Amino acid sequence: MIPPQILGILYALASAAAWGSGDFTGGVAARSQDQFRVLYLMTIPGIIVLALIAYAFGEPLLPSVRDILWAASAGLCGAFGIATLYRGLSLGNMAIVAPTAAVIGAGLPVLFSSITMGLPDVKKLAGFLLAGIGIWLVSRPPNGHDRLSVRGLNYAFIAGTCFGGYFIFVAQVDAGLVFSPLIYAKTASLMLAIIIILFRHERLPGLRGSATAVLAGVFDAGGNAFYMLARQFTRLDTAAVLASMYPAVTVVLAGLILKEKVLVSQWHGLAVCLAAIALISS
């Protein structure tokens, strides 16, 4: 039988893999469409997938008002974060924007957990520090002074703050629930996208408009579900830091598929992230 702590770590890493894949496909979709149209397209399949899973596992589709409010708040944070991130990714260098947003997004839950739950043990603290260093190394751009990098980092800062809020807010729902709160989180995301698109006097896109965006939605729903499972078995900071390693997947996919340049230092960053995982899981 797998110990609960290890199970939580495995779920968090699965969340990172799914989110990293979703950010890659969503970033590709945002190169040809506005980020809020991408958000709209990816949220609908996410709601459908989560509703089917919740029904299959027998979770109540109507949780308490408190849980709905926390989930909806998390959804709004996550939606704005995703839209901002995809705008940054669409500027052309995924290896800059996604990792920087992840560092900020992981730092806020660590601070929150340290205040509310106390500091973790020394090994985990060392693992968190290594994780931050690893993600920073992954995020180093080829030229840190060009306009593209500055604009991308501005988007990354906003996105990371929103992601940190998402991690904290969604962890406040009833510990026994996994999938049903995410339906309301994604519904809030969908409403935000619809309002912004209609406010611009644009037509809502059809689901056939971007298969890449729909695929991003499936990945994103999986990442959310795995994160919710992770926080059932481990501390918020551990789940958030490990899940925030999703840029490693984004960077590798960008290098393999889009042939974006991946620096030697970024590969070193991936190795440091692996060392961090070993410390956090020890």
More confident residue, 239 or 4: 239
Residue showing tokens 């390693």 = 245
Kindly state the average pLDDT of the residues 263-278: 84
What percentage of the chain has pLDDT greater than the value 90?
A: 17
Give the per-residue pLDDT at 145: 46
pLDDT of residue 146: 46
Listed range (20-24, 27-31, 128-132) with the worst mean pLDDT: 27-31
pLDDT in tens, 192-224: 889 888 988 888 887 776 788 888 889 988 998
Torsions phi, psi for 189 (to 5 deg): -60, -45
Examine the pLDDT at 15 and tell me if it is beyond 50.
Answer: yes
Q: H or E segment at 30?
A: none
69: pLDDT strictly greater than 90: yes
Question: Is residue 128 within 8 Å of 241, Cβ to Cβ?
Answer: yes
pLDDT of amino acid 70: 94
Structure tokens at 22: 């979703």
Higher pLDDT, 148 or 68: 68
What pTM did the predictor assign? 0.84
Residue 95 has pLDDT above 70, yes or no: no
* Mean pLDDT on 146-175: 82
Comparing CA positions, the residue from 95, 76, 67 lying closest to residue 166 is 76
pLDDT at residue 161, rounded to an integer: 93
What is the sign, positive or negative, of the torsion defined by CA atoms of 40, 212, 219, 93?
negative
pLDDT tens digits, 217-262: 899 889 989 998 998 888 888 888 898 888 888 888 888 888 877 7
| DSSP helix/strand/coil, 275 | helix
